[in-house]
Structure 1
């Protein structure tokens, strides 16, 4: 009895501590709203605004209906600089907040937690204004239909935009006193959204001509001075650059390789890359990749690791490999959750200033390094008295060691040592600064992209730390982001929530396939097959084909959108297309190839209308048209000889599937008929190269496997 009483007391104490924690924190602030109970770091940033914020949900909608108030929907994300600006100027302003609370029901949404909400209302804003971005501000009727919207609004009239307080009064008056006009405009807007939802519906499989034309169209967008596609602001355009590498690999047109190498070198030497800590910022505000928008996103770094790795595999230039290693080290050091996941992003701002954490004063550098080494370091990284960013310096490489060796009378090795030691000292000094805010929620989709980066890096480098990361990360997802029946989109503070979206599934299937080809755990291949079946059951549009972004119609959102275009991340539909082509090689599941070909037919007309937006599909088209090499390794265990791995993964070979058959096991997830009966020769690890349902003779040495792959590339493979 005493034990029971003691347990009740202890439980009560812990419950009180937990429930009172937010109250204790809230008592330190003048204002606290409902966002204090949300897990999103972005929403919690607004928890002490004087605005009476609601999270997205029925409580807010019910209030709007009951009071017949319009809804002010504000959407942003934690690393968004202009989101912070608008918060400081308007949402923290008592007068503005009072006006918002009086006239509207105010809802705040983290676009990374609810991309479905963001996508729909962004489409409305783009139709209304011709552009979009964040923070996004949308005014809705109580039944969630938008009637006005935009992005950032200043507190007073400026930049050609109406002041926010004036806008609030105008919108409220419009809603209350001009209902007929509002309804007419809503009807027009609904018609526009219906028109925008008209789908591409091709009927013929695309050919290599479509692939070649798309590459040429994208090449015309190339900016020759500094690389990249288009003018500032410049984004990495990873999928398009991947396409250029595939074009070079297929046809040997060196200009496509040159465009990628030129771009990646300028990015890796520029300010968009963190020269001290590794990792890339989201985009460059100028043509030269010098001045970044300083926020660092997990998804950019995950994709760029793989692009730089491919550049290394083609050229064997160690510069590209250094970027790979430094970026993965940054992710492991600064973006890793101890439980096994990866965090989402770092803010652009620290101490209220954009980029403050990353920039340097020349005198500060000289003081840290001394006048002699400091002079070398400043010359190498373009550090000057006047600076290159608001009087400070963004580090960027402006000279080669051999140039500095001649200039300073030192050897190249001495120059490299001075630069490396200087980097280490500045990095340690920077660690004492106030860092940018970290958004420490774990998003399944972005985590899967980073998992692919580690898996592909392990395939090439065999780094034991990368192997541990792969194992730990997949274990984390298994334990925390699925209930066995479905996946969850977001994890924070020990809890997973929000049913996963199409990109969560698509990127995870891709990551499982990449991880399988790294460590050959058959359970990962089985899981990839199972998830693909779930995607086809839950997301496929049975009427018009293609994939919806959500697994079912949202009870609040009027439309169920499709994820069709590449943006900062690849289209989930484009990734599922390639996933099914890869899985078909292992399973011969007819549904996989039928749906893949259906997607190719459906979207083929768009490939040359918008090659930038459909580059991920075009990458999959190259895989499909090339008839990938299906490399079957038969061994007596779950491991593969390193000599085989070096041949398979040591060069750029994007159109391949690598499978392991463990002869000691009675069952295997590999079901394709072409692999039936393939066995070891003389009890040695044996390789077969199959293509288009025809296999080579078995080989047992790396040299013979290398010869087979070279013959396969030349379409000269002998049947078995």
Structure 2
């Protein structure tokens, strides 16, 4: 049955797609039916890919997609498909790789033109309604593409065939395995270290992104080799981010990136994944340095997460928009008069600054100088009172929109962060919040299969391999925090589903999409990092952790094989390898800490909790526990009749430690 000539987005679960439901454009969601319509009519496809918190996506929507003249041209010349990249990262990866292969700069909104078979032949990102910024107007683009298609459809189809074959080879093909070695991590860390801004942190230049996978690489390099330059690069980056305008000093939480080299002017959207990764990095930094800044920002960011991002079901929404009332950053910025009407200006100036740098057209942005940051840490009660007043004054403002969809993989990252921070800082309420989010997502399974996205009663099946990996890692983190065996069983079940639906024919890797996903032009592997580690990286980590936790030697061998082949594939990549390199380092030398302690007055467990290590799986047991005793390398069972701590790396365990001070020294040894 042909699709009706109207906008079909109103019934979609994605808030981003629903934002476009009133456009005069005859939008279709991505589907086999939409591509069939293109084949039946012979029209090329215009696919527009974005996400709810994307500022330039909103700009293009207001300028072009809400415009009747533009919509008339689009409807007449193309089959128009709207994609939420957060719902369909598999589709986004394919066409973003195609754009890169054309030599174009990537970004969102992504605007791609496809053959009726879904193969890309030309594209770009944002196009203005009228010619400006050195770009042609959107109607000009549409008419030029239509003319090219009418005049040269055959040659464009041949070019599209070659381009999709190139993307297939880049994103889907397997490769021979590469021998793993610790040198890969160190070499990548050296390369990243050479690109870091030694004064302001992050990569040199602008814009500046948090780039958590890179920072993770530097931290792992310090842990493995004792390279203090790499540790210092992480600390400088975190301190600069947490003082700059990219951090919300009033409400907590980090924006997506800074438009300048000073971390001062952000794009104000807040993403769940950025803040989940920030929490883990700050937790490691606080454990290593004891600096109050990191603990304070953990507490503020989790307060924000629980206050503004938690849904009624206990899981976490995807993002907050950058815009309020059509103006970017309006909710977060302050004039001097607004500050003075709320708090004593002298008090404010003691702890904060306002900046309106060149090129920024909005109200001033709050940030902290180094001196203000240090004063705020020395006088926390005064700062807390000040922030409370400013937060209350900010609440009635027009709020940025929240993308309420619950993404399983992003929630997995948040659950891990809450569980780890809850352990380290002795906050059982954070662990309980993590448990509630995990329970909600698992309850949404159908026939034991996860959804990728949840919005109220709506579910988007099937999930992606990243969803299973992230939720398996979340289950393991919750076991470490609670010692509840149900989480071990849940992790095992998730990994079984991963094998059943996503493993490749050779048994050497995994695809991002399930074997019964019928609407994708390619099954990509998910090897490339975005702002978060790639699906493959998360899979390797989950398998290594679960094998260490359970003593499953067969799974450990499988994880190592997957890592070897992933290392072979990323040798061909120009970017986005850090996640897999980090995960391969875990596969080479998995670490396990088993602690037996007295539950009434534990002396060793608090030491383990205060010293988080991303390479390690922790198993904390009460003296006398016989059930589910962990297996040490060599199939040895630790004695449980007395306190002791056993730290094992690979197949070697150090002698047991019984003194808390000695355990602390052992866990902090570099």
The bucket for the TM-score relative to the shorter chain is: over 0.9
- 1:618 matches 2:581: yes
> Residues 354-369 of structure 1 correspond to what in structure 2 (within 5 A)?
354-369=328-343
The unaligned stretches of length 5 or more in structure 2 are: none
Q: 1:364 to 1:626 in 2, by over 3 A?
A: same
RMSD after superposition: 2.9
Answer whether contact 2:246 2:258 (CA < 8 A) is retained: yes
The residue that corresponds to 1:645 in the other structure is 605
Q: 1:456 to 1:82 in 2, by over 3 A?
A: same
Which deviates more from structure 2 when the two are superposed, residues 661-670 or residues 170-179?
A: 661-670
Q: 1:609 to 1:308 in 2, by over 3 A?
A: farther
Partner of 1:72, secondary structure, is strand
Distance in 1 (CA, whole Å) between partners of 2:130 and 2:473 is 47
- 1:338 matches 2:312: yes
- 1:426 matches 2:426: no
The residue that corresponds to 2:238 in the other structure is 264
Distance in 2 (CA, whole Å) between partners of 1:32 and 1:562 is 35
Q: 1:121 to 1:707 in 2, by over 3 A?
A: closer
| Rg larger in structure | 1
Shift of 1:649: 2.0
Corresponding residue to 1:509 among 448, 468, 472 = 472
The residue that corresponds to 2:438 in the other structure is 474
Shift of 1:341: 0.8
Q: 1:197 to 1:484 in 2, by over 3 A?
A: closer
Which deviates more from structure 2 when the two are superposed, residues 327-336 or residues 232-241?
A: 232-241
Answer whether contact 2:252 2:303 (CA < 8 A) is retained: yes
The residue that corresponds to 2:274 in the other structure is 300
The unaligned stretches of length 5 or more in structure 1 are: 1-30, 406-411, 715-720
Corresponding residue to 2:448 among 478, 482, 485 = 485
Distance in 2 (CA, whole Å) between partners of 1:432 and 1:709 is 47
Corresponding residue to 1:550 among 492, 513, 534 = 513
Task: Please give the TM-score of this superposition, normalised by the length of structure 1.
Answer: 0.86
- 1:447 matches 2:416: no
Shift of 1:306: 0.2
> Residues 75-474 of structure 1 correspond to what in structure 2 (within 5 A)?
75-197=49-171, 199=173, 201-369=175-343, 373-378=344-349, 380-383=351-354, 389-390=360-361, 392-401=363-372, 418-474=382-438
Partner of 2:524, secondary structure, is coil
Per-residue CA deviations over 1:567-609 (Å, capped at 9, x if unaligned) read: 2010121122122222222333343222222233224457788
Per-residue CA deviations over 1:255-297 (Å, capped at 9, x if unaligned) read: 1121111111110000110000000000111101000110000
Shift of 1:135: 0.9
Distance in 2 (CA, whole Å) between partners of 1:260 and 1:402 is 18
Which deviates more from structure 2 when the two are superposed, residues 155-164 or residues 303-312?
A: 155-164
Per-residue CA deviations over 1:218-257 (Å, capped at 9, x if unaligned) read: 1111112211123211111212212222222233222112
Distance in 2 (CA, whole Å) between partners of 1:104 and 1:631 is 61
Shift of 1:627: 4.9
- 1:497 matches 2:468: no
Answer whether contact 1:379 1:399 (CA < 8 A) is retained: no
Per-residue CA deviations over 1:139-176 (Å, capped at 9, x if unaligned) read: 22222222222111111222222211122222222223
The residue that corresponds to 1:25 in the other structure is none
Shift of 1:675: 5.7
Distance in 2 (CA, whole Å) between partners of 1:588 and 1:523 is 17
The residue that corresponds to 1:3 in the other structure is none
Partner of 1:275, secondary structure, is coil
Partner of 1:130, secondary structure, is coil
Q: 1:493 to 1:553 in 2, by over 3 A?
A: closer
Per-residue CA deviations over 1:440-477 (Å, capped at 9, x if unaligned) read: 01000000100001010111122131122122122212
Distance in 1 (CA, whole Å) between partners of 2:244 and 2:104 is 32
The residue that corresponds to 1:530 in the other structure is 493
Aligned residues: 666
The residue that corresponds to 1:658 in the other structure is 618
Distance in 2 (CA, whole Å) between partners of 1:608 and 1:146 is 26
Shift of 1:190: 3.5
Per-residue CA deviations over 1:530-549 (Å, capped at 9, x if unaligned) read: 22232233222233822211
Per-residue CA deviations over 1:296-351 (Å, capped at 9, x if unaligned) read: 00000000100011000000001111111111110000000121110000000011
The residue that corresponds to 2:40 in the other structure is 66
Answer whether contact 1:585 1:630 (CA < 8 A) is retained: no
Shift of 1:129: 4.1
Answer whether contact 1:381 1:399 (CA < 8 A) is retained: no
Shift of 1:677: 4.4
Distance in 1 (CA, whole Å) between partners of 2:334 and 2:217 is 37
Answer whether contact 1:387 1:393 (CA < 8 A) is retained: no
Corresponding residue to 2:18 among 36, 44, 48 = 44
Task: Please give the TM-score of this superposition, normalised by the length of structure 2.
Answer: 0.92
Answer whether contact 1:586 1:672 (CA < 8 A) is retained: no
Shift of 1:60: 2.5
The residue that corresponds to 1:57 in the other structure is 31
> Residues 619-698 of structure 1 correspond to what in structure 2 (within 5 A)?
619-633=582-596, 642-660=602-620, 667-668=627-628, 670=630, 674=634, 676-681=636-641, 684-695=642-653
Distance in 2 (CA, whole Å) between partners of 1:618 and 1:153 is 36
Q: 1:350 to 1:692 in 2, by over 3 A?
A: closer
